[in-house]
Amino acid sequence: MDTVTLTTAAGVDLFGLLATVLWHALRIGAALQVLPVLGGRGMPARARLFLTLALAGAISTVLPAPPPMAVDAATVLGVVREFAVGVAIGLMLRLAFEAGQLAGELVSQGMGLSFATMADPLSGASSPVLSQWFYLVFSLLFFTLDGHLALVGLLADSYASLPIGAALPDPHAFLAAVPAFFAACLRAGVLLALPVMMALLAVNIAFGVLSRAAAQLNPMAIGLPVSLLVGLLLLSLLARELQAPVQHLFDDAFAAARGLTG
């Protein structure tokens, strides 16, 4: 009789632990679904599932257990709320990477490389090669600056400020946070590409003047290779100065994500 009682109690504890992990996995899995580098299309679905369960299992051990919930409309709303919070957190960090994608789009126009495209791991569509270069640089800086550790801390803190089953503090501010940070990402992308764009614009203007002065000069045959070489040189110089602005952009992204739950 005692053996049956202990087995039943252990089984109840096991199911309770599984329910706790699954509740935490909702928000974490939704965030990883839209996150760059660690999630999205760039990582296989099975790997995302393992990573989600591992993070949920680790975070659930240091946080209070969620309140018991019945199978009713309130539980369904709680699941939707967890998905919304996770997607919003992941979207903030994804927008920071989209600033690099925008910078690559703008630079490729001046260099004449807009026709050179490759598969984009973020969206699955095609994007210019320079956009992929900025994406790789942002990814390397993300891990160099311990962004992955900050991400785990962000997810753990989100449960402390917005526990499972709690209502959103201000739905209007929650919905307005993403458009507000989107404007900051647009500004950051333009500022990253602006020095290279202006230098390439000066090169193109110079070859335009030369082609008007000497009609026998072919701007497509001479100007395009020079623009390409100048652009590559400027990108090599820009790569040495990217850490500070990208770090500032990541700090703003984490601050905006913390503001969603705060």
Q: What pLDDT does residue 248 have? A: 92
Domain positions in the chain: 2-261
Looking at every residue in the chain, the average pLDDT score rounds to 80
C-alpha closest to that of 138 among 114, 102, 87, 112: 102
Contact 97, 138 (CB under 8 A): yes
| pLDDT at 5 > cutoff 50 | no
**Cβ atoms within 10 Å of 118's Cβ, excluding its own:** 11
pTM (two decimals)? 0.81
Residue 11 has pLDDT above 60, yes or no: no
Q: Give the per-residue pLDDT at 70.
A: 66
CA distances from 253 to 10, 89, 98, 188, 236 (A): 43, 9, 12, 12, 26
Range of weakest confidence among 85-89, 178-182, 253-257: 178-182
Give tens-digit pLDDT for 85-143.
888 888 888 889 989 888 988 888 877 776 666 666 556 667 778 888 898 899 999 99
Give CA–CA dist 91/97, Å, rounded.
10
